[in-house]
Structures are given as C-alpha cells and as structure tokens.
Amino acid sequence: MKRKDVVIERFAPSPTGYLHLGHAFSALTAYNKAKKSLGILKLRIEDIDNNRCKKKFERQIFKDLHWLGIKWSEPVLKQSNRRHIYNKTLYDLKNKGLIYKCNCSRKDIKNALSAPHRSDRRTTVYPGTCLNKHLNDDFVSLRLNMRKALQTISSRRLEFIETGYNNKKSVFQRRVDPEELLTNFGDIVIARKDIGTSYNLAVVVDDAMQGITHVTRGEDLFEITPIQILLQNLLDIQTPIYHHHKLILDSFGNRLAKRSYSESLLSLREKGMDQIQIFELISSDKFF
Ligand code: GLU
C-alpha cells in the first residue's frame, strides 16, 4: 500500500467532561474502521476553550482509551499548543479580505434579529451589523464574510462523501448548496478573540495537519459539516471522507451528557463493569 493510500482515522475529544458510552462508541468505531483497512488512528485533544477544558478530564481520556484497548499513533495533537497556526490561517483569510471584526454581544445580535423591520425574526443568522465597521482592538470575534467567501471559490463544487449518516450503510455524495450556507449559517464566527480560533477552523486545519483521510464522529456534527467543506476549499485543503454515526442514547432516549458523571466510562468502571460489558452495551439495540 502506498503511503498516501493509508487510511487515517481520528478521535478528537474535548476535555470538558468525562467520556461516556457515546465517546466509547465513536472511538471504537473509528479504531475498528482503521484496523479493518490496515490504517491507523490518531488522537487529538480539542482543548482550545480554556474556560471549559480541565486537565483532570484530559488525563482520564488517556486512561479510558487505554482501558478500552484503543491504540493510536503518536504524536497526540493538542489544540492549545497550536494557536500560532490558527493565527496564521486567520491572517491568510484576512489578507484575502474574507474576515471582519465584530463587537456584537449575543444580546446585540438577538436585538438586531428581532428588529421589527425584519420579517425572518426567528432566524439566528448574524445580520451583518459589523460588516462595514472599522473596529480596532475593541472586537470580540472575527467573522467570515460568507458571500465573499463563496464568490472566491465559485468555480468549485462543494461536496463530500458520507458513509454513515442515518445509519445507511451506503456511500453517498452530499452536495453543499452555497445558498444553504448563506441562509443557514451566514457570517459565522471564525475566531473568538479570547480563544483565538473557533471549533470549525481548528478542526479543519488540524484534520489536514494530521493527514486525516476518514472522519468518524456522531451524527450531531453532520449539519455543520458544510461549513468545514467550505473552509477546506477556501484553504486549499483536501476533504476527508465522513462517517457520521448514530448517537448512543440513554434508556429514556435522551442524548448522553458529559455533565452527568453517572453515565461516564469512569463511573461504569468503578461500578465493576468490564470492557466486554461496555462493548455489549454500545452494540445493544436499547441504546439506538
Ligand atoms: N471535539 C468534538 C467533541 O468532543 C468533536 C469534534 C469532531 O469530531 O469533529 O465533541
């Protein structure tokens, strides 16, 4: 197999809480997919948000993955070490005139959206208040000028291959409609000033840096994937193949929460569960 044909999957948890069965399912799916195609799994700690990420959760991620028998190839990427890279990417986008500073608070945006002259009052798409302002240091975020971004790549087809969504086993090609990007997302926040990036920017840059060929993750991230496809095209980065799997739900049919310690892998282990029981749990119908 040529080097470039090697399947490279990844698991990219944020240390904002203890991992639960949903994470175990995601990590094991990615790991098993990689093994099946003689590929590798890479690990990335998505710890850009200083306020929410904690060292104790990060340490537990490594312990939980070891316990589950998951192996990954080194080095582990830590997003908190990569702010200079995100900064450089933002600089490139700024030089292309694709981003602008915004100092709107959530409340400002809410008020602007409920202004009486707007007919679409329920939409949460940013109304572009700061687009033509010339702010200095008094900004809170950088926004992508979506219309301009789409114009610069107008000759490209935006699309990605999906192999998991809706529990369909079939592979399908999903087209990203530029109109949808404008109406559903608009001028998204591409970096928060306090953390120096956004989830979407960091993920796209890091998936490329780690050479990820296959992204396996929960279907709750399917809806925002078009943003990542757009960014890959803007930054001239290859689009990986996506596999959005079903979410693991609790016995009431609700999403598992990182906030709930009782559902964590750590607590299940402390209650005496072993790996085999975890594997049985996540493959039992009750959770789907
Ligand atoms: N860090 C994200 C999470 O823990 C996952 C991001 C991704 O897989 O793209 O939910």
Q: Is 203 in the pocket of ligand 1 (CB under 6 A)?
A: yes
Q: What is the DSSP letter of 235?
A: T
Asked whether the bond before 75 is cis by omega within 30 degrees of 0, the reply is: yes
Mean pLDDT over 142-162 rounds to 95
Name the residue with the closest Cα to ligand 1, atom 4: 13
Q: Is 217 in the pocket of ligand 1 (CB under 6 A)?
A: yes
Over 90: is that where the pLDDT of 74 sits? Answer: yes
Over 70: is that where the pLDDT of 169 sits? Answer: no
- Nearest residue to 7 via CA among 228, 241, 217: 241
Mean pLDDT over 253-278 rounds to 83
Which of 77-91, 112-126, 157-171 is the most confident on average? 77-91
Over 70: is that where the pLDDT of 121 sits? Answer: no
pLDDT at position 281 is: 82
Of the candidate ranges 37-51, 96-110, 178-192, the one whose mean pLDDT is the lowest: 96-110
Four-residue CA torsion sign, 79, 80, 85, 88? positive
Share of the chain above pLDDT 90, in %: 74
Q: How far is the CA of 216 from the centre of ligand 1 (A)?
A: 10
Name the residue with the closest Cα to ligand 1, atom 7: 12
Mean pLDDT over 184-202 rounds to 95
Q: Is 33 in the pocket of ligand 1 (CB under 6 A)?
A: no
pLDDT at position 1 is: 46
- Nearest residue to 266 via CA among 66, 45, 109: 66
Over 80: is that where the pLDDT of 123 sits? Answer: no
Over 90: is that where the pLDDT of 120 sits? Answer: no
Over 80: is that where the pLDDT of 163 sits? Answer: yes
| Residue where the block lists tokens 């989830």 | 199
Alpha-carbon distance 131 to 88, whole Å? Answer: 22
Kindly report the average pLDDT of the chain as a whole number.
90
Q: Please give the number of the atom of ligand 1 that sits closest to the Cα of 218.
A: 8
pLDDT at position 288 is: 39
Contacts for 127 with CB less than 8 Å, ≥ 6 apart: 109, 112, 113, 118
Q: How far is the CA of 130 from the centre of ligand 1 (A)?
A: 29
Q: Please give the number of the atom of ligand 1 that sits closest to the Cα of 16.
A: 4
CA distances 200 to 31, 191, 210, 255, Å, are 23, 9, 15, 22
Mean pLDDT over 241-257 rounds to 82
Please write the tens of the pLDDT for every residue from 197-227: 999 999 999 999 999 999 999 999 999 999 9
pLDDT at position 117 is: 52
Q: Please give the number of the atom of ligand 1 that sits closest to the Cα of 13.
A: 4
